[in-house]
Structure 1
Amino acid sequence: MHDYYKQKIKDIPILGMKTILVLNKRRYKCVNCGKRHYEKVPFLGKYQRMTMRLILYISAKLKEQRSLKNICHESKISHTPVYSILKELAVGINELPEVICIDEFKGNSNGHKYHLSIVDGKNNKILDILETRTKDNIEKYFRKFSKKQRESVRYFVTDMYKPYKNLVKLFPNATLIIDKYHYIRQIMWAFENVRKRRQKKMNKDLRIYFKRSKSLLRKPYNSLNSEEKIQVDTMLWYDDEIRQAYNIKENYYSIFLKSKTYDEAKSNLSNWLLRAENTNLKEYKEAVKSHINWRIGILNSFTVRYTNGVTEGFNNKIKVLKRLSYGFRNFENFRKRILLLA
């Protein structure tokens, strides 16, 4: 033995107070070559100034819904070692699942407004987060996987964002499915735009009444009680265009959405598109166009149970994490926190 060296090591806080261990480290001298080296300590990694249990403690905190500042405060250490631990944690996937769901969320990190969530729709697990939602970036990511892995994907669930349309070609055996929420809201938006346009031409009292009663007009007619039905019938009596828009919406809800099979949905959708196209309501033109462009994916949603509901749930968790942390400037830190949280 050559000499001793006192080393200060950070450890888990005790009773909420900062804890420092003072290790009397021994240094040995080789009798053959004369070189000196320190003894190996089982709870301390090479070149580290904190115990392994503190590293595990911080790693566990990083998987919780809290900000990095809060983790630093609880661990009684500066942000630098916490960022270093986060950087070293391994996240990501090596193979593709049977069901892939994708959906964007507002991230605002690294100068990109939207990021993309990739979720395993069968096992309800976040697979990865992409920095942008552009078609080229998504294609580049999925092409990293072998053709055999991409052939194992059976369902590809997405919303009606145009760049996503041809991504299903990356998965030769996959069925494109459009999330129900995204195509149903197209009809609600169209109806709401008709109501808002017609409201502007009403007198003040009537306009206020229609605005305050809009929730009744949004609901399916069959879900209303007798008193609410009288109110809706009265409102529809005032304006022909709102009544026409309401009937188209109700026809969509009562006939198309209640279809039981693919063939039944196909027939009902064709009839509804024909009826909507023959109206003079410009607000429905965009909804009709979207349903025609995404027709196959919409009809497939009647035979497959998978939706983007789980993805939306994860996106809500991401929003909470982002709010607690007052946003993230660094995308990679944001991505790792999301994957650890999931």
Structure 2
Amino acid sequence: MYFHSINDLLDLPELRITSVQKEMDTIEFGVEPCTSLQSCPTCRSKERVIRRGVAYRRKVRDLAAFGSKVFLHLPAIRLYCHSCKVSFVWDYEDVEPKKQVTKRFEKQASSYVVGATVKHAAALLQMPVTSLTRWFYRWMNTESQRIQKECREEAAARPTLVLGLDDFAIRKGHTYNTGLHDLRGETFLDVIPGRTKEELHDYIEKNPEWRTLQPTAVVLDLARSYHRFVKEIYPSAIRIADRYHVNRYVTEALQHIRKTEQKKLTPHAGRHLKRNHHLIGKRQDRLTEREQQELSVLLSYSPLLQQAHAWKESFMDWYDKSSSYNLAKKGFQRWLQDGASIDHPAVKSCLKTMQTWQEEICNYHKLRYTNAAVEGKNNKIKALQRRHYFTRNPEGYKQRILLECNEEKVQY
């Protein structure tokens, strides 16, 4: 029987198929090495090497094929070198000694855990959880280091590097880490323990390779510790206040006004306004025709709410429609003046923050980057923590994050 085509499909160049047996959802291939002799491990020659038969056959699991599990029956060929007086067994390139799986199966099985759990992946592959756990941690250690090195080299070589800096919670309100991102490459570079200026500096001192990066800009929220850190480590970088963090200050001020005005209305109107408060925060150009009509009714309840809503909409337009940095600065000053005419403590507090950070906010119009991709990575980290009920090993935790957030770079 000819097995040339199956040999090509299995892609094991050092082996040739001698037999095939199909049972239920399993295919078992009898295989042999393509060559008759192998070099002696001592003298690296096969001139005086002879075969001394087959001691036994190893049953080794390989990658699934044709919708079935695949097993290879490998002969344990005994060899003897007359020059060195040494006996040895055939060393297969694709299978480590005493292993019950091929190298490529172990690697692929480990990659199944990315985005899932070991228990789920083991059930899918129909194999012991303990074995997969051992393989995965070994693979994760090497693969995460490879990915981080690749991402760092890409970031260092990028002519216009834009970094993203944002925190994510380990335990909300108590413990936080900071993520360092390459926004142009859409990669997660590193996990920095903590978010205070001192913690950030300590980490950079221990990992000076990040100091050598030369970013054109860094996108971050309005946390002073981050801005001071970036100003010292990357003094030439443009600091851009993240658009969505800034928007939140305006929408929160608007909702504060809604709550105050809501209390002054009749019970029916108050309930109506509260029930549909999400329409006030939503961008007007993204509302359906029915929602537009509903919004008009809500705004008719209060002139102050109507004024604040128009102020919020003009801020969204300022972000979208400012054609240059100079025009953006002028438009921002006009927007601040419009806000000063709204007599409400929440708006005054918002304006104070905006005036403090106006340079960083306007810098968005020099390079239009946001931390939207960063928030997506943060959601992946939250999902990872929920799936695993957190991870006690800090090094393993960091490695898992590097794999999950750079999944497109994982070599399967």
Q: What TM-score, normalized to structure 2?
A: 0.67
Instruction: Tell me if the contact between 1:16 and 1:74 (Cα under 8 Å) persists in the aligned partners.
Output: no
Classify the secondary structure of the residue corresponding to 2:138: helix
Q: Distance in 1 between matches of 2:257 and 2:382?
A: 32
2:121 is aligned to 71
1:200 is aligned to 263
2:108 is aligned to 57
Classify the secondary structure of the residue corresponding to 1:69: helix
2:210 matches 1:154: no
What are the Cα deviations for residues 269-300 of structure 1, in whole angstroms up to 9, with x where unaligned?
22322343454311123322322232222111
1:214 is aligned to 277
- My pick for the range that moved more, 256-265 or 134-143, is 134-143
Instruction: Tell me if the contact between 1:265 and 1:302 (Cα under 8 Å) persists in the aligned partners.
Output: yes
1:85 is aligned to 139
Classify the secondary structure of the residue corresponding to 1:176: strand
Distance change >3 Å, CA 314–CA 224, structure 1 → 2: closer
Distance change >3 Å, CA 142–CA 194, structure 1 → 2: same
Post-superposition shift, 1:206?
A: 1.2
Q: CA RMSD in A?
A: 3.9
Post-superposition shift, 1:147?
A: 8.5
- My pick for the range that moved more, 85-94 or 290-299, is 85-94
Q: Distance in 2 between matches of 1:8 and 1:116?
A: 49
2:365 matches 1:302: yes
What letter is aligned with 2:241?
I
Classify the secondary structure of the residue corresponding to 2:298: helix
2:237 is aligned to 174
Instruction: Tell me if the contact between 1:177 and 1:301 (Cα under 8 Å) persists in the aligned partners.
Output: yes
Instruction: Tell me if the contact between 1:188 and 1:218 (Cα under 8 Å) persists in the aligned partners.
Output: yes
Gaps of 5+ in 2: 1-50
Instruction: Tell me if the contact between 2:52 and 2:79 (Cα under 8 Å) persists in the aligned partners.
Output: yes
Q: Distance in 2 between matches of 1:57 and 1:224?
A: 46
- My pick for the range that moved more, 252-261 or 203-212, is 252-261
What letter is aligned with 1:156?
V
Distance change >3 Å, CA 253–CA 83, structure 1 → 2: closer
What letter is aligned with 2:192?
L
Instruction: Tell me if the contact between 1:67 and 1:321 (Cα under 8 Å) persists in the aligned partners.
Output: no
Where do residues 1-342 of structure 1 align in structure 2 (5 Å cutoff)? 11-12=61-62, 24=76, 40-45=91-96, 50-62=101-113, 64-75=114-125, 76-77=127-128, 78=130, 79-89=133-143, 90=145, 91-93=147-149, 94-95=152-153, 96-97=155-156, 98-108=161-171, 113-143=175-205, 144-145=207-208, 149-150=212-213, 152-169=214-231, 170-220=233-283, 231-255=294-318, 258-340=321-403, 341-342=407-408
Post-superposition shift, 1:183?
A: 0.7
What letter is aligned with 1:199?
Q
Q: Distance in 2 between matches of 1:275 and 1:249?
A: 10
Q: Distance in 1 between matches of 2:187 and 2:148?
A: 12
- My pick for the range that moved more, 83-92 or 302-311, is 83-92
What are the Cα deviations for residues 275-334 of structure 1, in whole angstroms up to 9, with x where unaligned?
434543111233223222322221110121222122223333344444444543434333
What are the Cα deviations for residues 242-291 of structure 1, in whole angstroms up to 9, with x where unaligned?
23422432343345653222122212222322343454311123322322
- My pick for the range that moved more, 133-142 or 40-49, is 40-49
Post-superposition shift, 1:223?
A: 6.2
What letter is aligned with 2:337?
L
Post-superposition shift, 1:131?
A: 3.6
Q: Distance in 2 between matches of 1:148 and 1:115?
A: 19
Higher relative contact order (CA 8 A, sep 6+): 1
Classify the secondary structure of the residue corresponding to 1:127: strand
Post-superposition shift, 1:191?
A: 0.3
- My pick for the range that moved more, 113-122 or 300-309, is 113-122
Post-superposition shift, 1:155?
A: 1.3
Distance change >3 Å, CA 226–CA 166, structure 1 → 2: same
What letter is aligned with 2:272?
Y
Instruction: Tell me if the contact between 2:189 and 2:402 (Cα under 8 Å) persists in the aligned partners.
Output: yes
Distance change >3 Å, CA 188–CA 181, structure 1 → 2: same
Instruction: Tell me if the contact between 1:99 and 1:120 (Cα under 8 Å) persists in the aligned partners.
Output: yes
Give aligned-pair identity as a percent: 25
What letter is aligned with 1:267?
K
Q: What TM-score, normalized to structure 1?
A: 0.79
